[in-house]
Amino acid sequence: MLIVHKYGGTSVGSLERISSVASRVAKAKNSGNDIVVVVSAMSGETNKLIEFAKHFSDNPSKREMDMLLSSGERVTSALLAIALKEVGIDAIAMTGRQAGIKTNSFHTYARIESIDPKAMQKEIDSGKVVIVAGFQGINENGAVTTLGRGGSDLSAVAIAGALKADACEIYSDVDGIYTTDPRIEPKAKKMDYISYEEMLELASLGAKVLQNRSVELAKKLKVKIVAKSSFSDAEGTVIGEENKNMEAVLVSGIALDRNQARVSLRDVSDRPGIAGEIFTKLADEQINVDMIIQNASSNGLTSLGFTVAESELARTKEIIDNFDHDIGGKSFDSDICKVSIVGIGMKSHSGVAATAFSALAEENINIEMISTSEIKVSMIIAQKYAELAVRTLHSVYKLDA
Amino acid sequence: MLIVHKYGGTSVGSLERISSVASRVAKAKNSGNDIVVVVSAMSGETNKLIEFAKHFSDNPSKREMDMLLSSGERVTSALLAIALKEVGIDAIAMTGRQAGIKTNSFHTYARIESIDPKAMQKEIDSGKVVIVAGFQGINENGAVTTLGRGGSDLSAVAIAGALKADACEIYSDVDGIYTTDPRIEPKAKKMDYISYEEMLELASLGAKVLQNRSVELAKKLKVKIVAKSSFSDAEGTVIGEENKNMEAVLVSGIALDRNQARVSLRDVSDRPGIAGEIFTKLADEQINVDMIIQNASSNGLTSLGFTVAESELARTKEIIDNFDHDIGGKSFDSDICKVSIVGIGMKSHSGVAATAFSALAEENINIEMISTSEIKVSMIIAQKYAELAVRTLHSVYKLDA
């Protein structure tokens, strides 16, 4: 089997940790697999380099930031190759360029355009463990680019896709994806398997493990991800394609997003296009609107509610104030949160949402907004009920069973 | 004018120092010159990375060491570009690869094979200051290589040659080349000009400024070097081609090498080839022999003396012991040093050496070995007379005038 391993910053955060990773990789190689390893910079290193740059400029050149930041992953990859050779495993460190990773030219948030796996494949075929500096590639002019947040995960998934690897194991300090946040519900269980679609909807549960961009890419390239801990030998969670067994499971997990604020607009002129104008203006300012509800119009007036990230509420308020002549009344509330139940099984089962509504009602939790998709039901509730709601839903769907 | 600047580790040893270098480069650029800057890693950085590698292996893979060590210069080049842009100077950071530097494949001590200056020239023509990560290039397979000790100086001189620059200014924490070591002779004077040949012979005086490999390359490429301090605005020393004025100066400088040991062999069989056998064996063991003298043979026996680096005396002794059947007596002495007087003017003036011998004799300093070249006279004397000999010679040739 050909397995891609990816180790994040905390997994390679010290020389001792790199030794530990070398042992893990050596064991995987010695059990007969071909191994490609993608590494992040040692934790703290990237932040240190950013601080260095900020010493000189509040807005440093992005092209130069990429040359600066890409150095951290190179250091880790070289050190891991040296550590592996010392334990008798032949290994070769490769930069993004040497691994054949071509990106577009959007420095600091480039997208991978293609991977030519020939150079990696040649080293794999000669029996070597290939260690690739994550987070980086080169553009058509040969300039170094970086992939932005979660970039090493993207490198790993893209490389696994290009090499048609059997799996892409993403190592972090968390041993998998849980049915909900264990800090809120200690009975939360680690999932054995979850579909790409569910993982995308449960983003907040996977936030410390891998980002949505990587899951989307894995889905597109049909790369099987295994989220594991580099600090234990626990099994981890497989993230892969939907399968038949999954439909038997109504709900896979409960996600909580506290970083939400609600905007309520009453008595909005029901002239055509007013909602469009408001949301266009928000989009122009890069403010991401999550849930939107609009009530049926009466008397030529309508009411409009939506949520934005709590951190963007102030900017949102400024924009809304410009529409005062079209809006009768408005309120802003950041004391709310979003609780979501996610599960592939919902597709073919009715009544899943009703169960949630009843369960929350029994606890006297008022649902302020609802939005549903094929595999998710999200509810806005008062912030103070966040933990109670998560535990109630976790229990009613028997996720602790 | 097109000027190449090179800043060593102490010159870019902190963020404040990098700011100071940015000011200096900005001033040079604003006075109407085109500037290319070659930078070393921040001082301490390379040693830190070497320590990291040694944590894993006593003999780390050289290919991986190159990927590791080349990262330090990349960091400095990106930071300096960011600092320059902030003070309004357009700048672009380039790796060795991007600057077109191709080397052979001897990792950790590669030699530059060619420089394609087109990419640098294009950026210069567009008005940018080009900042090149020193010490590195790529080989024909695209692997990163480094150039060994003094590598950034080599990068700078080679780039100056490829771009046909008007000068290559090498900045360090020393403001030029002195007529002798000022710690021994406080009257030592900074030279305004010195020829490549003299500089090569005075290696020990330039040791903290630039290495012989760089001087040799500059001589070959006819690159004018200016050795300057990045900590002051002093003029520095020009190292260039021999010129007519120079012949008027008999002696340019006095060098002292304490790292010497003398081997004396008596009653050596005068059979053909014995000296050759000894020196071949030493060369096989990578022991560099400096001075050699052999006395005329008598009674089929001869005496042979030579010097090696003090640090290699123990290994030399082992080798000599294997020739015991051919050698009547032997002695080893590390309490010696080598004093050299160097000057282009010697070529056309006789009596220069005689002046040295008389001056030392007057101080009762016994000269144990002598070797001469066209522009140098080297003398082995007892270590205890080192400083006295240097001051005596410095004075007798009026270098303090």
Query: What would the two tokens of residue A112 be?
Result: 């991978």
Residue B168 lies in a domain: yes
**How high is the pLDDT of residue A297?**
65
Q: Tell me if residue B371 falls in helix, strand or coil.
A: strand
Given a contact cutoff of 8 angstroms between Cβ atoms, the answer to whether B217 and B157 are in contact is: yes
Long-range CB contacts for residues B50-55, cutoff 8 Å, separation at least 24: B52/A15, B52/A75, B52/A79, B53/A78, B53/A79, B53/A82, B55/A15
Domain CATH for B81: 3.40.1160.10
Region of A236 (left: φ > 0; alpha: ψ -120 to 50; beta: rest) is left
pLDDT at position A40: 96
Provide the chain A residues 49-78 that lie in CB contact (below 8 A) with chain B.
Answer: 49, 52-53, 55-57, 60-61, 63-65, 67-68, 70-72, 74-75, 77-78
Q: In terms of residue numbers, what domain contains A284?
A: 254-396
Asked if the model's pLDDT at residue A246 lies above 70, the reply is no
Assess B108–A contact: CB distance below 8 Å, yes or no. Answer: no
> Are B103 and B139 a contacting pair, CB within 8 Å?
yes
Write a three-state SS string for chain A: CEEEEEECHHHHCCHHHHHHHHHHHHHHHHCCCEEEEEECCCCCHHHHHHHHHHHHCCCCCHHHHHHHHHHHHHHHHHHHHHHHHHCCCCEEEECCCCCCEEECCCCCCCCEEEECCHHHHHHHHCCCEEEEECCEEECCCCCEEECCCCHHHHHHHHHHHHCCCCEEEEEECCCCCECCCCCCCCCCCECCEEEHHHHHHCHHHHCCCCCHHHHHHHHHHCCCEEEEECCCCCCCEEEECCCHHHHHCCCCEEEEEEEEEEEEEEEEECCCCHHHHHHHHHHHCCCCEEEEEECCCECCEEEEEEEECHHHHHHHHHHHHCCHHHEEEEEEEEEEEEEEEECHHHHHCCCHHHHHHHHHHHCCCCCCEEEEECCEEEEEEEHHHHHHHHHHHHHHCCCCC
Of the given ranges (A41-55, A98-112, B159-173, B234-248), which has the lowest mean pLDDT? B234-248
Looking at B123, B138, B172, which one is the last position of a domain?
B172
Residue range A252-281, pLDDT digits in tens: 999 999 999 999 998 888 676 788 888 889
Report the pLDDT value the prediction gives residue B372, as an integer from 0 to 100: 84
Mutate to test the interface with A, among B46, B74, B82 (most CBs of A within 10 A): B82
B64/chain A closest Cα distance in angstroms: 5
Domain boundary among A135, A157, A172: A172
Distance CA B12, CA B30 (A): 21
Place of tokens 């896709």: A161
Let me know whether A264 and A368 are in one domain. yes
Instruction: Flag whether residue A138 sits within 8 Å of chain B, measured between CB atoms.
Output: no
Q: Are residues A162 and A17 in the same domain?
A: yes
Nearest-neighbour CA in chain B from A332: distance (Å): 40
A209, A172 in Cβ contact below 8 A? yes
Q: Is residue A153 a contact partner of residue A139, using CB atoms and an 8 Å limit? A: no
**A126 touching chain B per CB within 8 A:** no
pLDDT attached to residue B246: 63
- pLDDT value of residue A326: 83
Residue B296 pLDDT: 67
Q: Does residue A345 lie in a domain region? A: yes
Among the candidates A109, A139, A172, a domain finishes at: A172
Count of structural domains, chain B: 2
Asked whether residue A292 carries a pLDDT value surpassing 70, the answer given is: yes
Element (H, E) at B255: strand B253-269
DSSP structure string for B9-61 = TGGGSSHHHHHHHHHHHHHHHHTT-EEEEEE-PPTTHHHHHHHHHHHH-SS--
- For residues A153 and A271, membership in a common domain is answered with no
For residue B104, give the 3-state DSSP assignment.
coil
**Is B202 domain-assigned?**
no
Nearest to A82 among B53, B83, B85 (CB): B53
Q: Tell me how far CA of residue B77 lies from CA of A60, A276, B83, B110, in angstroms.
A: 13, 47, 10, 21
Confidence grade of residue A351 (pLDDT, cut at 50, 70, 90): confident
Q: Is beta strand A101-103 parallel, antiparallel or unpaired with respect to A144-146?
A: unpaired
For residue A293, pLDDT beyond 90: no
Percentage of chain A beyond pLDDT 90 is 75
Does B81 contact A at CB distance below 8 Å? Answer: yes
Return the pLDDT at B184. 94
Is B343 within 8 Å of B249 (Cβ atoms)? yes
Provide the number of CB pairs (under 8 Å) joining chain A to chain B: 111
With respect to residue A369, please indicate whether it lies within any of the assigned structural domains: yes
**Residue B156 located in a structural domain:** yes
The per-residue pLDDT for A238 is 96
CA-to-CA dists, residue B226 to A236, A307, A379, B240, angstroms: 61, 64, 72, 9
Q: What are phi and psi of B280, to 5 degrees?
A: -65, -45
Structure tokens at B376: 């140098």
DSSP conformation class of B346 = G
Q: Which of A56, A71, A83 sits opposite B74 (nearest CB)?
A: A71
- Select from A61, A75, A81 the Cβ nearest to the Cβ of B49: A75
pLDDT (0 to 100) of residue A250: 81
Q: Residues B20, B168: one domain?
A: yes
| A263 plus A162 within the same structural domain | no
Q: Residue type for B180, please?
A: T
Interatomic CA distance for residues B110 and B130, integer angstroms:
23
Residues A142 and A259 in one domain: no
Scan for tokens 């680019």, then name that residue.
Answer: A145
Say if CB B60 and CB B53 are below 8 A apart.
yes
Instruction: Please give the pLDDT value at position A221.
Output: 96
- Taken in order A126, A129, A131, A132, is the CA torsion positive or negative? positive
Q: Which two tokens stand for residue A49?
A: 């380099």
| Integer angstrom CA distances of residue A235 from A2, A124, A193, A215, A232 | 18, 26, 11, 19, 9
pLDDT in tens, chain B (401 residues): 999 999 999 999 999 999 999 999 999 999 999 999 999 999 999 999 999 999 999 999 999 999 999 999 999 999 999 999 999 999 999 999 999 999 999 999 999 999 999 999 999 999 999 999 999 999 999 999 999 988 999 999 999 999 999 999 999 999 999 999 999 999 999 999 999 999 999 877 776 778 888 999 999 999 999 999 999 999 999 999 987 776 677 899 999 999 999 999 988 886 767 888 888 899 888 898 888 887 766 677 788 889 999 999 999 999 999 888 888 889 999 999 999 999 988 877 778 888 999 999 999 999 988 888 888 999 999 999 999 999 999 999 999 88
Tell me, yes or no, whether A26 and A146 share the same domain. Answer: yes
* Residue of A42, A68, A98, A126 to mutate, interface with B, max B Cβ within 10 Å: A68
DSSP sequence for B285-304 = TTPPEEEEEEPPPBTTEEEE
A240 falls within a domain: no
CATH of the domain at B317: 3.30.2130.10
Of A188-202, A292-306, A358-372, B175-189, minimum mean pLDDT range: A292-306
Whether this prediction's pTM lies above 0.90 is answered by: no
State whether B158 and B274 are in the same domain. Answer: no
User: What integer pLDDT is reported at residue B161 of this predicted model?
Assistant: 97
Select the residue from B46, B48, B57, B67 to test the A interface by mutation, using most A Cβ atoms within 10 A: B67
Q: Is A182 inside any structural domain?
A: no
Query: Residue A146's beta-bridge partner residues?
Result: A136
Q: Is residue B185 part of a domain?
A: no
